[in-house]
Amino acid sequence: MTKLSSAIQQQAAARLHQAISQAEQCLGISLPIPLLRFNQRGRIAGSARLKDYEIRLNPVLLAENTEEFMREVIPHELCHLLVWRLYCRGMRTRSVKPHGKEWKTLMRDIFGLQGKACHQMDIDSVQGRQFDYRCECGPLKLTIRRHNNVLKGVRYICRACKHPLQAL
């Protein structure tokens, strides 16, 4: 596992402050600085915890892809918090989609980014153990969580061919 240096953590915090300033200028409002944590696990680059007003970054992927985090991931997660603050707080129903038009508009207008829902980073270093399964389409892999669910009796169906998955 890659250890995240304090220099990279400071760089991420500085980028978040810069992104907040950009958002404040563009939107004409004052914004609090979200809590920035480096405890996101798995294949996810980052996540925004809306009610906690917090951004979580994956320390392994951040160390391996620092430039992409500064350019795309930090603004991406900040825009989720901005959408929550501007459009969702206090609403009982979820009428705003996580990567919907409001989010895409903020990504474009504030940061000049297209705004993609998923990253394209190499995840080999954070990929957990996988197990071989098959369906009518051919072989595929399940995560350890899904494999353990199969061992407990859960049945998974292939999305493409609609046949049950079977362990190899």
pLDDT band for 91, please (50, 70, 90 cuts). Answer: low
For the cut 90, the answer to whether the pLDDT of residue 75 exceeds it is: yes
Catalytic one of 54, 67, 72, 77: 77
pLDDT digits (tens, 9 = 90+) for 23-57: 999 999 999 999 999 999 888 899 999 989 999 99
Residue linked to tokens 């609609």:
162
pTM of the model: 0.77
Distance CA 29, CA 40 (A): 29
Answer yes or no: 77 catalytic.
Answer: yes
**Residue 7: what pLDDT?**
94
Distance CA 112, CA 141 (A): 37
**Residue 1: what pLDDT?**
46
**Residue 74: what pLDDT?**
98
pLDDT band for 142, please (50, 70, 90 cuts). Answer: confident
pLDDT digits (tens, 9 = 90+) for 123-138: 777 777 788 999 999 9
pLDDT band for 85, please (50, 70, 90 cuts). Answer: very high
Average pLDDT over residues 66-72: 96
Domain chopping of the chain, boundaries: 6-111, 130-167
CATH 3.30.2010.10 fits 6-111, yes or no: yes
Query: Positive or negative, the Cα torsion across 66, 114, 87, 96?
Result: negative
CB proximity list for 126: less than 8 A, separation 6 or greater? 41, 42, 43, 58, 60, 61
Least confident of 4-8, 40-44, 89-93, 133-137: 89-93
pLDDT band for 92, please (50, 70, 90 cuts). Answer: low
DSSP letter at 96 equals: S
